[in-house]
Structure 1
Amino acid sequence: MTFQKSQGFTLVELIVVIILLAIVSVYAASRYIGIGSFSAFAIQENAISVIRQVQLTRMQSNSDVTAGLNDLTLQISADCIGSTLACSERSEMSSNWISDDNVVFSSSVPQVQFDLLGNPNITSPLEITISDKTGASSTSVTICPNGLVSSSGCL
């Protein structure tokens, strides 16, 4: 009885390699499709962080007066969220502001001041809408009257 030495790959090996390549290509394609419409969601967590940072800065200030203290007031404009001072200077060394050319911020209140306990000067929940300029995606951040800053609204 003689055995022939096989040359090449078996059908099972070829199918396994094709399936693995398909999985990798689907994963890679999903990373590139819709990358422009993802900006609003990507910036949402950064906006929450910046709002909380301005809130904590106010709580740690130990000052009863907020007039003239632009680093303790939250500013919400179409192209910037952060302390009034940081949004006007836009220094890369400062971390208490966020701006992105691909998104627009909108709110019914342009400025929010926090008291020493972190409570904002609002009586109802304030929703800040974050939309990308193409209109493909939109999300929001809510500031509650009790000081909670959340992406899921007030509890």
Structure 2
Amino acid sequence: MNIRKRLGFTLVELIIVIILLAILSLYAASRYIGVGSFSVLVIQDSVISIARQVQLNRMHSNVTDANDSLRLSISSHCFGSVEGCAHPDGRSDWVAEDGVTFSAPVSEISFDLLGNPLNVASGGVEVTIHGQGSQAIVSVCANGLISKSGCD
């Protein structure tokens, strides 16, 4: 029996190491390059949370006319309840971030007691979040669904 001493690595081992290094370097590079898009995705989740909070508050309000804390306001630099954007101190129902702007075809969304958008927004509204080199969309659908995947 002839035993050969192994020197070096096989081609398969080298390819696996190269692939693992490529995956790690792509991950590391994306952490440095994608900082602007990351903030937009975080803001997108905050917008969804705030829209659902205002919608649920309206559904639990049991009043005929929604006051300022039960309507969504969409301005270029603030998204949240009308009252939250006007007086943000100590409130959790608004979001604003430097370098991030919001746009929508309407400036305000009211909900009925079932959580469906009313008036101009009754057909559904897409809120676009613009950041540094990236953007995200939040949909407020006609049936009351609020999501980042659209109204389909």
TM-score using structure 2 length: 0.79
Tell me how far apart the structure 2 counterparts of residues 148 and 40 of structure 1 sit (CA, whole Å).
Answer: 21
Given that residues 75 and 107 in structure 2 are in contact (C-alpha distance below 8 angstroms), is that contact kept between their aligned partners in structure 1?
yes
1:87 aligns with 2:89: no
Tell me how far apart the structure 2 counterparts of residues 123 and 140 of structure 1 sit (CA, whole Å).
Answer: 18
Tell me how far apart the structure 2 counterparts of residues 139 and 31 of structure 1 sit (CA, whole Å).
Answer: 18
Tell me how far apart the structure 1 counterparts of residues 150 and 22 of structure 2 sit (CA, whole Å).
Answer: 40
Structure 1 residue aligned with 2:3: none
Structure 1 residue aligned with 2:97: 100
Secondary structure (helix, strand or coil) at the match of 1:64 reads coil
Tell me how far apart the structure 2 counterparts of residues 108 and 146 of structure 1 sit (CA, whole Å).
Answer: 18
Structure 2 residue aligned with 1:114: 111
Identity %, equivalent residues: 48
Amino acid at match of 1:51: A
What is the deviation of 1:21? Answer: 7.0
Amino acid at match of 2:46: N
Structure 2 residue aligned with 1:130: 129
Amino acid at match of 1:89: H
Q: Which runs of 5+ in 1 are unaligned?
A: 1-9
Larger fraction in helix = 2
Secondary structure (helix, strand or coil) at the match of 2:80 reads strand
Structure 1 residues 106 and 23: alpha-carbon distance in aligned structure 2, compared to 1, 3 A threshold: closer
What is the deviation of 1:43? Answer: 1.2
What is the deviation of 1:89? Answer: 1.1
Structure 2 residue aligned with 1:53: 53
Given that residues 47 and 79 in structure 2 are in contact (C-alpha distance below 8 angstroms), is that contact kept between their aligned partners in structure 1?
yes
Structure 2 residue aligned with 1:70: 68
Q: Which runs of 5+ in 2 are unaligned?
A: 1-6
1:34 aligns with 2:31: no
What is the deviation of 1:36? Answer: 2.1
Structure 1 residues 29 and 118: alpha-carbon distance in aligned structure 2, compared to 1, 3 A threshold: same
What is the deviation of 1:37? Answer: 3.3
- Aligned-pair Cα RMSD in Å: 2.4
Counting matched residue pairs gives 141
TM-score using structure 1 length: 0.78
Rg (Cα) greater in structure: 1
Tell me how far apart the structure 1 counterparts of residues 85 and 122 of structure 2 sit (CA, whole Å).
Answer: 25
